[in-house]
Amino acid sequence: MKFNASDQLIECVPNFSEGKNKHTIDAIANAIQAIPSIKLLNVDIGIDANRTVFTYVGKPEAILEATYNAIVVAQEKIDMRHHKGEHPRMGACDVCPFVPLQNISMQEVISLTEKLGEQIGALGIPVYLYEQSAKINERKNLSFIRKGEYEAIPEKMKSEKWKPDFGPFSFNKKFGMIALGARNFLVAYNINLNTKDVNIAQAIAKQIRTIREKKDNSYLSNLFQSVKAIGWYMDEFSCAQVSTNIIDIENSKVCEVFDAISELAKEFDVRTNGSELIGLIPKAALAHPTLSIDEVIQHIGLNAVKPFDKEKNIIEYNLFK
């Protein structure tokens, strides 16, 4: 699928709570690719996280149709009552962000998420609008909606403040619930440590949060304003990771985040050992004042635990080639 400079384009990056069953993952991919005007750019399967992130781009109505169809497949094939994984989760399609990519406003994308939310809600799935689409301020933050994960949903459904934006105000045992919304680019980026001690990764993530919350206008505090972090152990890679979401790629370049966390790691007598990108990344997020894109990729070790191909993993290279 090729797009033109005049096309309205949206990127969609839904996260599905399945990283082990290839049949299910393929069925979701097929549902996405079956729609004309869609280009599936990446399928990132996390075995230990038991989660797969799909990245695809398309015109507005095609994005709506492809995403709805993918969620229908997830509803059929994923049962959250049996789901276990390292990554926090609350639903079969856990979170579904729409990102304005080309010739489309954030408000237009918000309207599309509302339209899709109504359709998903009609399937019997509780839908919570988040980020730019949120109708309730505290729901802007995904971590607020996901707090307690799938296991906390029955208790949440007893409180009026957890009434969903769309769908039934009741516990869907098989699917769970979904966060849906429009947002800017987010980079999901994990930094490897040369230790298996998850406690160290969690301590570093806690330190990032502490520095961020100081808001003292220091370099690190400013850098970490756009970085959310948790620590976990990845058996697949035999190492602990500091798992981050970088929510503002202008404020927090990936290379700077890597270097800062490398310095924090030294305080715990460990070193960083490369890093891992989940999904795709905009070229701007890898920008550096003195290093080329290839040098940044080498510096932060993006090939350390799984292949990184700039022609496939950098959005602009992949989309318009």
Catalytic residue among 83, 87, 288, 299: 87
**In sequence order, which residues have a C-beta less than 8 Å from that of residue 186 and are 6 or more positions away?**
13, 97, 99, 245, 246, 247
Strands 51-58 and 9-12, by their bridges, are antiparallel
Angle at 66 between CA 142 and CA 190, to 5 degrees: 40
Task: Provide the 8-state DSSP code for 304.
Answer: S
**Nearest in space to 317 (alpha carbons), one of 281, 285, 292:** 281
Whether 87 is catalytic: yes
**Nearest in space to 178 (alpha carbons), one of 9, 16, 27, 46:** 16
Task: State both tokens at 19.
Answer: 């990283």
Residue 47 buriedness (CB in 10 A; 0-12 / 13-18 / 19+) = middle
Task: Note whether 128 and 178 are within 8 A (CB).
Answer: yes
Task: Provide the 8-state DSSP code for 279.
Answer: S
CA pair distance 165, 136, nearest whole angstrom? 9
Point out the residues that are catalytic: 87
